[in-house]
A and B are shown apart, each in its own frame.
Chain A
């Protein structure tokens, strides 16, 4: 994985000292909150319901065991012994003190981490495929391109005060595991008929109050012009994006209102101009970055056989391991979704265990999934039983990847100052309901996503089943949505009808899964059945 050079480290160290001074001046009263707020947000420090909240960037979700240990130490030393892995492959701490913030950033910098640009109207953490570099179906590891874009976008003076926040995802397979087309810019590394690599640009996607699927504006940008094209996309947005209304300030609104054709025309004109200016970094820089992402030394001829005589282990292998490009290896998913648990939360002890297991079994590497689980990307099949045994003993062996128990849930009203309703208790009760009725396995792939407000951090628009919490005259109410997908078959979910109370929404989820069980044909997922039969059978079952 990428290692900081002297420039990276110097930049991060300087930012730590700068923010330490800013926090000191705030505590001394030399800065007002209005003056300080944009400064702390640039360093990922929010003020949430119960305390300050710090969001730490995990670039494209990749980290090593030393970094995971550092995250655990921060949880113990400065927080309350746990952290929350987010839907953008980051981690958040919920109980931070302002007087500790400088020390925390310094501890992060020691392991090449930071919280820069995890908030504010700038280019946020670049996300990617959590199986990058391991997936059997990728044409190339997308992370070098994500890293190049990370370096380009870090402290970019022109894009530090955009009309609104800006999120970029990079993938390199036809299977979309990063919700690529629901980002401000989604980039898919592709191969043309001549066998050359290039980048397909999808611009203007997003969730939030106005969900949009990004259209493709250029199907093949040469990789030695990747940054130039991205810069052109940002420039047109920075020039025309609305700053008068924050609800219409995202690039999706610009692309929609301007029209994809006109937006593309302006991007291409800007691109031509930028090519003359020569803003692209030397291709040698990309080559330098690429060397950090070379394959680990896989064992040649690693055994393919897995002893499946332990039935619980066999279920976990079937559900939580994913095909690897190297024979004898898999990617193993550590579920942070125990039945009745809080999606995405991990204790410091669990983080340390995952770090140690990564060192022992996965070439010292971990990934954070946007679905709030952790991946050990390179595990020998021969080591799977030992790995599962250690995970299971620590409460991390839930065999529920991509099932109805594998719920994305934002922090909701339990932690977030923007939320209108609680998300986590709904996720807990749904997972308990389906664990109790024994249907988790038989329902197969079923992606359920819950947001506590219309900002959609819980990706409810993209759930096969989505739930949106709203405030109805001071009482929590939950809307049910069906038919969304953030994968390569991307679609936006539709609301079924009137909302439900806390008890009713759990029953409603069970009701729609009953419809699916009655109506499904061979091999159909919930989403497939919904697409075939439409909304009406579900509405009839829900509302009569």
Chain B
């Protein structure tokens, strides 16, 4: 599957295309296979996202998991600061990234 990601224009936060909107949670991301270029053009023009691009992913326990570690770090937050990640209370989340 392919996910569309970028950064929120105002805040810089990592965001994922859900099929109708943008979410900071990768588990909300929709498969955009075949439509990524069109959605990216449209959304960048509407200034809702900065520099969107598509990444490969796979389903992991029912949720999308980016194929490359860089995108998994982007999706969660820095592995060295669990308190600043999107799931600070999840002690197992490091395994999802690595």
State whether B7 touches A413 (Cβ < 8 A). no
Q: Chain B 53-86 against A: per-residue CB contact (8 Å), 1 yes, 0 no?
A: 0000000000000011110011001111100100
Contact B9 A51 (CB under 8 A): no
Which A residues are CB-close (under 8 A) to B79?
414, 422, 425
Q: Are B69 and A413 in contact, CB atoms less than 8 angstroms apart? A: yes
Indicate which residue in B7, B68, B70, B81 contacts A51 across the interface (CB closer than 8 Å).
Answer: B7
A474 within 8 A of B: yes
Chain B CB within 8 A of A190 CB: no
Chain B CB within 10 A, most for which of A99, A414, A475:
A414
CB closest chain-B residue, reference A80 = B84
Known: A97-B12, A342-B80. A47 touches B73 (CB 8 A): no
A91 proximal to B (CB < 8 A):
no
Contacts of A425 in B (CB 8 A): 79-80
- A95 — which chain B residues lie within 8 A by C-beta? 12, 84
Q: With CB as the reference atom, state the residue of chain B lying closest to A32.
A: B44
Whether A474 touches B68, Cβ cut-off 8 Å, given contacts A29-B47, A51-B11, A97-B10, is yes
* A50–B77 CB distance below 8 A: yes
> Does A149 have its Cβ within 8 Å of any Cβ on chain B?
no
Pairwise interchain contact A98-B80, C-beta atoms closer than 8 A: no
B18 contacts A by Cβ under 8 Å: no
- If A52-B12, A96-B12, A98-B11 touch, does A414 touch B80 (CB 8 Å cutoff)? yes
Check if A49 sits within 8 Å of B73, measured CB to CB.
Answer: yes
Q: Which of B10, B12, B51 has the most CB of A within 10 A?
A: B12
In terms of DSSP, what is the predominant structure of the interface of chain A?
mixed
Q: B51 touches which one: A27, A47, A51 (CB < 8 A)?
A: A47
**Is A428 at the interface (CB under 8 A from chain B)?**
yes
- A415 lies within 8 A of chain B by Cβ: yes
User: Does A326 sit at the interface, judged by CB under 8 A?
Assistant: no
Shortest B11–chain A CB gap in Å is: 5
Which residue of chain A has the shortest Cβ distance to B71 in the bound complex? A49
- Is the C-beta of B3 less than 8 angstroms from some C-beta in chain A? no
User: Judging by beta carbons under 8 Å apart, are B69 and A47 in contact?
Assistant: no
| Distance from B23 Cβ to chain A, minimum over Cβ atoms (Å) | 15
- A476 within 8 Å of B (CB atoms): yes
Instruction: Say yes or no for B13: interface residue by CB 8 A criterion.
Output: yes
A78-103 vs B, Cβ < 8 Å mask (1 yes, 0 no): 00100000000000000111110000
Q: How far is the CA of A96 from the CA of B84 in the complex (A)?
A: 14
Give the B interface residue count (CB, 8 A): 23
- Is B4's CB within 8 Å of the partner chain A? no
Known contacts: A98-B9, A413-B70, A414-B73. The answer to whether A33 contacts B80 by CB under 8 A is: no
Residues of B within 8 A of A98 (CB): 9-12
B14:A50 contact, CB within 8 angstroms = yes
CB-CB under 8 A from A51, the residues of chain B are 7, 11-14
The CA-CA distance from A428 to B9 in the complex, in Å, is: 33
Contact between chains at B10 and A99 (CB < 8 Å) = yes
A95 to B14, CA, bound (A): 11
A474 to B70, CA, bound (A): 9
Q: Which residues of A lie under 8 Å from residue B47 when comparing CB positions?
A: 27, 29
In the assembled complex, how far is the CB of residue B58 from the closest CB belonging to chain A, in whole angstroms? 12
**Interface residue A424 (Cβ < 8 Å from any Cβ of B):** yes
Give complex CA distance A422, B70 in Å: 10
Among B7, B77, B81, the residue within 8 A (CB) of A47 is: B7
Residues B78 and A414 in contact, CB atoms below 8 Å apart: yes
Binary contact readout A468-489 vs B (1 if CB under 8 angstroms, 0 otherwise):
0000001110000000000000
Tell whether A50 pairs with B74 under 8 Å between CB atoms, given A29-B47, A414-B80, A474-B69. yes
Residue in contact with A50 in the complex, picked from B44, B50, B68, B78, CB distance below 8 Å: B78
Which of A52, A99, A415, A417 is in CB contact (< 8 Å) with B78?
A: A415
Q: Which of A49, A422, A475 contacts B74 (CB 8 A)?
A: A49
Residue-wise, chain B 20-51 has the 8 Å CB interface mask toward A (1 for contact) of 00000000000000000000000010010011
B-side contacts of A474, CB under 8 Å: 67-69
Chain A residues near B10 (CB-CB < 8 A): 27, 97-99
Q: Within residues 38 to 52 of chain A, which ones have a CB less than 8 A from any CB in chain B?
A: 47, 49-52
Q: Name the A residues within 8 Å of B81 (CB-CB).
A: 342, 414
| B74 cross-chain contacts in A, Cβ below 8 A | 49-50
Q: Which residues of chain A have C-beta atoms less than 8 A from B7's C-beta?
A: 47, 51-52
Q: Which 3 interchain pairs have the tightest Cβ spacing? A: A51-B12, A414-B78, A52-B12
20 A-B pairs in the complex with CB atoms less than 8 angstroms apart: A26-B9, A29-B47, A47-B12, A47-B51, A49-B73, A49-B74, A51-B7, A51-B11, A51-B12, A52-B7, A97-B11, A98-B9, A98-B10, A99-B11, A414-B80, A415-B78, A422-B79, A474-B68, A474-B69, A476-B69
